[in-house]
Each structure stands twice: as C-alpha cells, then as structure tokens.
A and B are shown apart, each in its own frame.
Chain A
Amino acid sequence: MTVLIKNGRVIDPTNDLDEPKDLLIDKGKIKALESPGKINIDTGEKQSIIDAKDCVVCPGLIDMHVHFREPGFEYKETIESGCRSAAAGGFTSVAVMPNTNPVNDTRSVTEHLLSLAKTKGIINVYAIAAITRNLAGERLSEMADLKDAGAIAFSDDGRPVMNNELMRRAFEYSKMFKLPLIQHSEMLDLTEGGCMNEGIVSTELGLKGMPAEAEDIMVYRDIALLEKTGGRLHVAHISSKNSVDLVRQAKSRGLSVTCEVAPHHFTLTDEAVRGYDTNTKMSPPLRTISDVDAIKKGLKDGTIDIIATDHAPHDIVDKQVEYQNACFGIVGLETALPLSLKLVDEKILSMSELIKKLTSTPAGIFNLSSGNLSLGNDADILIFNPNFEYSIDISKFHSKSKNSPFDGWKVKGKVIRTLVRGKTVYPTIEN
C-alpha cells in the first residue's frame, strides 16, 4: 500500500522541518518527503492520495500517561476503546499506567496487556509497570522481569511511594535497567480526605483542600534522593508553581529529571469547581491562576518537557455522586490537541515546539523510535487542521467514558486523520 499525503504543512521537530512538503508512505514506512508536486502517484487499489490542504502533517502524538482500565475496570475503558479514543485525538502511541486489577506488577500482566494491545489496539500501546508490588508501597516489583516483558517505565501512579527508604532503593534498583521512575507526587498525609486545591475556593465551597505543598514536598524529596542515587525521575502531571521551580533548579544542576503537564492544568483553575461539577475533580487538583502562569512559563522555557493527558475515564456511576465521593480524573485524549493548541494561540509555544512536546520529546524520554518523520521510520502520522473551529461534544467521544469538564467549549484544531504504520485508524479504520 502506497499513500501520498499532499499539500500539507509538514512539521517534524526532530529533523527541524516546518514547510510545505508532500509525504510518501510505502509499506507502512516513510519513504519520501519532497517539495509539493514532486512526487506523483496514480490512485488505485493499492495507492491512495490524501489532500492535506490547510492542514499540519506531523508525527502521530504520543501520550505517556493514560489509564485504559483493562484488566479489571472494563466498564470504564478497555484497551480497544482507549485506543480508539487515542486515535480520534491524534495519538498513535500511548503508555498505560499499571493501576488495573490485577495491577501490572508482574511479567504475566505486562505480557497480557501487550498481547491484548496487539490484537485489539489500533495504535501502539506501551506498558508502564508498578514500582512496588500491588502498588502497596512495601516491596519492589521484579523490574528486570518486567523490563524483559516490555515495560518501558515504572510508576505507582495514583499511589505515590510514600516511604523514603523504599523510594531511595527504587531509584537505585531501577538505575541498572535505565528506565525512568514516574512519580505521582502527593504526600498523602497532607491530602487525606481532600478533593480540590486548598484556597479561597475550597474555603468557600466547604470542601477539604489538597495543598500544593503536598506535591512540592514529594517532588523535592524525589529530587533529593535522585541526586544521591542517580537514576531517572519523571514527574507526572506537574501542577504547582513551586514544583515547576524545583524541577527547573534540578535540571540546572544537571539531574536526570523530566516532567509532564496535563492540558487541564494549563487551561482551568480551581474556580471551575464552583457548582460542584465532579468533572472538575482530579488529582493533582486544578490549582490557581498563578500556578497556571508558572506552568506556561515552564512550558516555554523547557522546564516542562512534555504534555501528557492523564486520561482517566470514569463511568457516570463513579462521577454522578457527591463531590467528595466522586472518583478523581477526567478523559483527556480527545481534547488534548485543541486545548494544547491554545498555547500556540497565546504565543507560549510555536507550533513546532508544541508538537515536539507531544511527539519527539516523550519518545526521547521513554526511548521510543517513533515521534519523528525520518525516512524509513514507521509512518505514524497525524493530519490536523489547526484553524478548524468547533464545539467539544462529549457525547461524540470514542472513549467509553464521558467525564470531561470541557463539554461545549469552543476550540480550534481538529484531527482530520490519524495513521499508524501507514494505515488510517481515524476517522475510519483500515484493515
């Protein structure tokens, strides 16, 4: 199968490319990139032409932080539905967090996930395995075995490693496998019973707050341990101003620290919680405008390496309850691109810088070969129209769950087509 993508603005940060180009795909690989009009093919049974006029053509997006809920919580999401949601959002690779049931803390679960992904998944799925067995924060998981089975990183996401000694040993032990530890940074003893950021809004609403310091203290602790042990730290969904500063300082000392931010943490503040919409409940919580400003600054100066969605699907049963009783998290894959494009509109990032944070940089941190348009690579490609305006409609989501605070938002930037290894996976699925 040969596919020619014509008339698009091709952006490939890895190869420093941002210009009109035609892109030729052959047998699932990127075969040629030439000036517009130079490549000509006939359409036919084995050949097709995609007109990408007015569109950006870039590497398929990579989301290193998703929850696909399988096994164990298939009523919220499955690998199959999660992959469809990802494809609809322009993502061609995702990494799934291990907080399933059973937890992904052993070779057999990792292998099961990856084989499910092969048969049911329409995009590339990578597995993040647990740092500790059963996410219990007591004993290290069998990291060598897990890596051998395919795990690309370790995390107890949602259940931060509270024990200092254990975290130290986790850094040391993981060092030999050269895989990063991803921490959901939250001192649980400071956030017990909390359900939103602590501040004037939590005070007025009478909801127990989760202070930003709960995040800051763990980020600081992990950096301090890392400085001693070596190893690699990736801070998940950074949300507070001081945490961004801590990562910036650690980077300036040359430490191997990276971090990600979720789109909701640079588009919403805790003011959104007024009215008690449980789709504004996530962990870390929506914070204040000064945190949002600090995150934008961190995105601009490179402190924040990547954008990841923390895609956390929850069924209505888990969300249509009292605010304090609602599950944490929102679906993110199908809103990430238009929300992130706001950063380009606000001139915080150039289009190329934004795409880099969604493609080649996450690929670099997690050692994936994708995320670029180099010749010979798998043709994982996103075509999107950055100026197409529309309203977000949660009822149209491909995810099984609809828990999003962005319903009805007017946004710009629409996924036109997503291809994995040269085959279209959105809006239709090619066999």
Chain B
Amino acid sequence: MMFKLKNILGTQCLTEDDITTILDTVDSFKEISTRPIKKVPTLRGKTVINLFFEPSTRTRTSFEIAGKRLSADVINIVGSSSSAVKGENFIDTALNLEAMHPDIMIVRHALSGAAEMISQFIECPIINAGDGYHEHPTQALLDLYTIRESKRNLEGLNVVIVGDIAHSRVVRSNIYAMKTMGMNVKLIGPPTMIPLEIEKMGVSVGYYLEDAIPNADVIMMLRLQKERQSKYLLSSIREYSNLYCLTSKFLEKAKDDVLIFHPGPVNRGIEISLDVMESDRSLILNQVTNGVALRMALMYLVLGGNNDRTN
C-alpha cells in the first residue's frame, strides 16, 4: 500500500494500517545494519536536517545513523550552537533551513506543540523527534516493533508503564499507538506524576508497582526526569526508588516471558536495578538497535517509498 503521511508529528493521527505498514517496513531495513557495509543508496541525493533544540544523544544519533545508512546527507543542528542563542525565532530558523531545500526535517524541541507549529510554516516533511511533554512518535513505534518481534501479536497485550507519566512524551505516544493496536495500557506512578483525567485516553491508572506486575506482558520503566521536577512532586528520590524501582524482587511475581523496556537514558538504581537491566528479560538495547531501523523505514516512507528499498 501507499504511505500517504507527509509528516510524522505524533502517533495520535496514525491509523492501525499506518502503524502496521511502518512496522512491516522496518523488517527489511533492520538487516542492513548487520551487513559489513552498512549502506544502501535509498536516499542518495536527499538531505536530512536534524534540528535539535534540546539535548539528545540517543535519538539524534539514531536519526543520523539512519539517514547515513540510507546514503542521505545528514546535517545536525543543535540548539546550543544554532542561531536560537542569538534570539532567532524558531519558525525563522526553520524557514531559513527550508530555503536550503532539505528533504526531511527531524525536529526535537523542549516545548509541546513545536513540531506541529513548524509544520504549519514549512512545506518540507517533518518527523517529530520529541516535543515537550507531548509526543515522541518514533520512540513509541520502535517500542511497538520491539514488542512485536518477541510477541508476534500486539492485540490484547497488557502493557504497564511506570514512573513520571506527567512529564513523559513517550507515554503519550505509546498510549495512542498501543490503543490503536488493541493493547491494554496501565499507568503506574505516584498521583503527583499522573496528569489529570488521563483515564479518558483509554488507560487505567494505579499507584503501586507490585499490583500491576503479575498481569503484565510488557513493563516499560520511565526515566525519572530529575531536571524537570518541581520540588513538590516528590518527597525524595530515595522514597521514589523504594516505591518504583524495578528490582528482581518485583519480577518474581511477573510472567516468565515479561518484557522490560526503558526509553533511556537510565538512572541506574533509581527506576530500574542493574541486575534487571542486564537480565535476559530486558530489551533496552534491542530498543536502541531497532530505533535505527525504524527511523530508516520512516524516512523511506515519508519520502514516498519505492520498490528497491534495500538494494
């Protein structure tokens, strides 16, 4: 089927068919990264701009590698070295970059709605690489791909997402995508970190980790975003860790084939213990590996796709 979306601003606007097409497309790109020569000419002559107004290691590198393995010319622009520090309006920055005729812009911004806003001003396709607490669609899609690799079918799976729900764009993108694919989502965290009325998104909410574990097929731990915490949300990191750190003791009650996810970067020992991170149930590094393939697939699809995608 033809993929019709010009921009990937979020998973909220993706249909089940869209998501299935994306995940199916990842399969054929994944193998490229295991070749001795990790490069195909799919996007030769195309220009990809990584426009990152917020610090990022994993996502920026992943997009950069994805673009380069498809033979695109990838340009990285980082907030601290861009004209944003000279006070340039970010719309002007985007318009100026568009004037240089890129083929895709990857946008990361600390404030919600930024990618959607830019999309109203420029014609170039945009992939949202995370906007504030709103959406991070490529993370959710790579999570779904990684789950599907292990579980085959997504429908009916029980996913538990644990931690600072309020300040997580990963959560919102995963809720939209997982609900679209027929999965059940339960959110666990202290009430100070559960945003108002989130049940209306079709999820259930709980406060205690142990209650959610026995039924879970997937447990996704979120990073405690220490830099984003107002001082009133937590009593202490120690207490947070006592309540929500995923340790092997918690896992005793879990299903044998439970999968453990974390979007990274991890605060070791705060939200997940080292032994759990390193256990065979943890797919944290698979997520990262699949992230490259997912982003290759997405760039390919956004630029229209063609039949000889991997040769």
A164: CB under 8 A from chain B? no
* Dominant SS among interface residues on chain B: mixed
Q: Smallest CB–CB gap between B12 and chain A, Å? A: 8
Do A205 and B112 have beta carbons less than 8 Å apart? yes
Do A321 and B196 have beta carbons less than 8 Å apart? no
The residue on A at minimum CB distance from B175 is A204
Q: Smallest CB–CB gap between A408 and chain B, Å? A: 15
Given the interface pairs A205-B134, A206-B135, A276-B116, the reply to whether A323 lies near B111 with Cβ below 8 Å is yes
**Segment from B39-47, B98-106, B197-205 that makes contact with A:** B197-205
Do A202 and B196 have beta carbons less than 8 Å apart? yes
Do A322 and B197 have beta carbons less than 8 Å apart? no
Contact of A322 among B113, B172, B198 (CB under 8 A): B113
Q: Which of B113, B131, B200 has the most CB of A within 10 A?
A: B113
Interface size on B, residues (CB 8 A): 24
Q: Smallest CB–CB gap between B220 and chain A, Å? A: 18
Q: Smallest CB–CB gap between B52 and chain A, Å? A: 15
- List of A residues within 8 angstroms of B113 by Cβ: 205-207, 276, 322-323
A199 to B89: give the CA distance in the assembly, Å: 29
A334: CB under 8 A from chain B? no
A321 to B84: give the CA distance in the assembly, Å: 13
Instruction: Write the A177-216 contact mask toward B (1 if CB under 8 angstroms, else 0).
Output: 0000000000000000000001110111111010100000
A275: CB under 8 A from chain B? yes
Do B198 and A203 have beta carbons less than 8 Å apart? yes
A322 to B198: give the CA distance in the assembly, Å: 23
Do B133 and A206 have beta carbons less than 8 Å apart? yes
Q: Smallest CB–CB gap between A278 and chain B, Å? A: 9
Given the interface pairs A321-B89, A322-B90, A324-B132, the reply to whether A203 lies near B196 with Cβ below 8 Å is yes
Interface size class of chain A, counting residues whose CB lies under 8 Å from the partner chain: 20 to 34
B169: CB under 8 A from chain A? yes
Q: Smallest CB–CB gap between A104 and chain B, Å? A: 30
A276 to B9: give the CA distance in the assembly, Å: 13
- List of A residues within 8 angstroms of B201 by Cβ: 200, 203-204
- List of B residues within 8 angstroms of A203 by Cβ: 195-198, 200-201
B5: CB under 8 A from chain A? no
Instruction: Write the B82-105 contact mask toward A (1 if CB under 8 angstroms, else 0).
Output: 000000011100000000000000
Q: Smallest CB–CB gap between A56 and chain B, Å? A: 39
The residue on B at minimum CB distance from A324 is B111
Do B109 and A322 have beta carbons less than 8 Å apart? yes
8 example contacts (A-B, Cβ-Cβ < 8 A) are as follows A202-B196, A206-B133, A207-B112, A211-B196, A317-B89, A320-B91, A321-B89, A323-B112
Interface residues of B (CB under 8 A from A): 12, 89-91, 109, 111-114, 116-117, 131-135, 169, 172, 195-198, 200-201
Beyond the given pairs A205-B112, A322-B117, 8 more chain A to chain B contacts, judged by CB atoms under 8 angstroms and listed by A's residue number, are A205-B134, A206-B112, A206-B113, A206-B132, A206-B172, A207-B113, A320-B91, A323-B111
